[in-house]
Amino acid sequence: MAVEPMDVSPGACPLNLDVEALRRAVQEEYAEVASNPAKGFHFHTGRTVAAIIGYEPAAVDPLPDVVVESFAGVGNPFIWGSLRPGEVVVEVGSGAGLDALIAARQVRPEGRVIGVDMTPAMLEKARANAALVGAKNVEFRQGLAETLPVPDACADVIISNGVINLCPDKDAVYRELDRVLKPGGRLQIADIIVKRAVPQDAREDIELWTG
Which residues inside 152-171 make contact with ligand SAM, applying CB under 6 A? 161-163, 166-167
Which residues inside 56-85 make contact with ligand SAM, applying CB under 6 A? 71-73
> Near ligand SAM by CB under 6 A, which window of 50-58, 104-112, 118-126, 130-138?
118-126
Q: How many CB atoms lie under 10 A from the CB of residue 42?
A: 7
Q: Does 49 bind ligand SAM (CB under 6 A)?
A: no
Q: Does 37 bind ligand SAM (CB under 6 A)?
A: no
Specify the residue, 147 or 200, whose C-beta has the smaller distance to ligand SAM: 147
Q: Does 122 bind ligand SAM (CB under 6 A)?
A: yes
In 121-135, which positions are buried (b, 16+ CB within 10 angstroms) versus exposed (e)?
bbbebbbebbeebeb
**Residue 55 region, left (φ>0) first, then alpha (ψ -120 to 50), else beta?**
beta
Q: Does 117 bind ligand SAM (CB under 6 A)?
A: yes
Specify the residue, 119 or 184, whose C-beta has the smaller distance to ligand SAM: 119
Q: Does 145 bind ligand SAM (CB under 6 A)?
A: yes
* Count of residues interacting with ligand SAM (CB under 6 A): 23
Specify the residue, 28 or 184, whose C-beta has the smaller distance to ligand SAM: 28
* Residue 67 Cα distances to 49, 96, 137, 164, 200, angstroms: 14, 7, 16, 22, 38
Radius of gyration (Cα) for the chain, nearest Å? 17
Q: Does 30 bind ligand SAM (CB under 6 A)?
A: yes
Q: Does 119 bind ligand SAM (CB under 6 A)?
A: yes
Footprint of ligand SAM (CB under 6 A): 26, 30, 71-73, 93-96, 98-99, 117-119, 122, 144-146, 161-163, 166-167
